Structure 1
Amino acid sequence: MALPVIECFSDLHCPWAYLASFRLRQLWPAYRGRLTIRWRALSLEYINQRGTPKPILDLEIPLIQQIEPALPIQRWSRPDWEWPATFWPAFEALLCAQAQHPDAAFELQWRLRVAFFGEQRCVALRHELLALAQEVAQVAPLDVARFKADWDSGRFKAQVLADSRQGWHTLRVPGSPTFVLPSGEQVHNPAAGQATIDEAALTLRGYQPFRGDALAVYRELLDRAIHVAPTTPAMHS
């Protein structure tokens, strides 16, 4: 019997999606084998028609540090010329892992985010992506030779675009991250609070924190995905 599927539409350079992944990771041992998370590209580069916005991330990262002090995240301190202007190659890498096994995808999406936010690695570069695949292969079922062949061939390049179009234009999700449950319900950025950022002035105007147990919110989300049957056929790219 097929497991229930939650689709997570997110951008890999989104710090809010990184926070969501951190919280999911804490709960996942109790849910592995009971449902599947399918990682969907929701490229901000595509919808905003610009590269990775370092000034915006420089505003958001200190806020994320306050929300979750245990999360490995820091502002980029390496030279600006080493900054990953695009995350498209990283999206492709995640899809290469997802084509092999959901555990490999779960691990790689986490390692990609940690590599960028916590380790200052440029995940737009092939050698970094292959190194991350090697790391994942130590803890999850990932054939690195197949991963390398799929990535080098560009097998999933079009899928990144298709996922992003589905998220932004078909499902019209509010932003990154958005979880789409088997019922079709969309849950955007759960238990994260509400930040108001003036991008033109590069200013954080305010933050309304979430009050409550964030992990309880995620636990309820996962339980709902397991126990609520789909009401309409799922849309897949």
Structure 2
Amino acid sequence: MTGVGAPEVRDGTIVVYSDIACPWATVAIARLLRARTEFALDEDVHLDHRSFLLEDVNSAPVAKRVVDAELPVVQALEPELGWTSWQGDPSTWPVTAAPANEAVHAAKRQSLRAAEELDLALRLALFRDSRCIALRHEILDVASSCPSVDVEALGAALDDGSARATMMRDYREHRDAVRGSPHLFFADGYEVHNPGVELRWPDGPGTGSPVVERDDPEVYGDLVRRAVMGSKA
């Protein structure tokens, strides 16, 4: 059931709280998009991207050492995404993902599809191409590959910060209802954190390497169909 502070969700949408710098959310989003296409629901189901800022939750940047430990595990789950370890100097690892998350919110003002395209492109830029997505020019260059994104309008929104207030207000309002990145919410009140995946950190959270105890990618077909049914599910 929907918890206190959970967002309202329109029929035909899946509200996705996540952080672009989260590998697990990248797995989930790739699987959602694949399932949507497999069930011929590209025009019927849309992702409504919201930010769950891990750097704010943890009062610290998303650490490169933690991502390095997670990458071999998520690579085994979704190898076709082309994950690579950070190829640049360690000092160029993005210390913040807030500008990238803000850019997705700015793109969402254009359309949900624009936000979907930019979100995935920025994730691949970070985890596959080793691009510092904290930088404005990198974000806009990545956006230029997204057919639905008006790059000039996106740059203007980043310059005036118009999307930042909306992003942060939504994050603050719903933060307590979100268990982590990713967390999905549906119009019928259903919600799920990191769907299909159960994992643990044997040495403690963020220490050593995580172990996936269960992975069921088939759940994503059920999720996209649930979004179509909406409040009638």
Aligned to 2:170: 163
Give the counterpart letter for 1:108 in structure 2. Answer: L
Query: What per-residue deviation string (whole Å, max 9, x for no partner) do you get for residues 174-204 of structure 1?
Result: 1110100012221111122323253578212
Aligned to 1:15: 23
Q: Take 2:205 and 2:214, find their aligned partners in 1: how far apart are those partners?
A: 23
Give the counterpart letter for 1:188 in structure 2. Answer: H
- Taking structure 1 as reference, are residues 222 and 201 closer, same or farther at Cα in structure 2, changes over 3 Å only? closer
How far did residue 103 of structure 1 move? 1.2
* 8 Å Cα contact 1:93/1:151 also seen in 2: yes
Equivalent residue for 2:137, pick from 120, 124, 127: 127
Equivalent residue for 2:155, pick from 145, 148, 152: 148
Equivalent residue for 2:91, pick from 69, 81, 84: 81
1:181 to 2:190 alignment: no
- Greater RCO structure (CA 8 Å; 6+ sep): 2
Scaled by the length of structure 1, the TM-score of the pair is: 0.87
* 8 Å Cα contact 1:13/1:52 also seen in 2: yes
Unaligned runs of 5+ in 2: 1-9
Aligned to 1:229: 231
Scaled by the length of structure 2, the TM-score of the pair is: 0.88
How far did residue 36 of structure 1 move? 2.3
CA RMSD of aligned residues (A): 2.0
Aligned to 2:6: none
- Taking structure 1 as reference, are residues 205 and 116 closer, same or farther at Cα in structure 2, changes over 3 Å only? closer
* 8 Å Cα contact 1:41/1:160 also seen in 2: yes
* 8 Å Cα contact 2:13/2:186 also seen in 1: yes
Unaligned runs of 5+ in 1: 232-237
Q: Take 1:128 and 1:201, find their aligned partners in 2: how far apart are those partners?
A: 28
How far did residue 105 of structure 1 move? 0.8
Q: Take 1:61 and 1:121, find their aligned partners in 2: how far apart are those partners?
A: 16
Query: What per-residue deviation string (whole Å, max 9, x for no partner) do you get for residues 55-92 of structure 1?
Result: 11111111111222222212213111111000110011
Aligned to 2:65: 55
Aligned to 2:201: 196
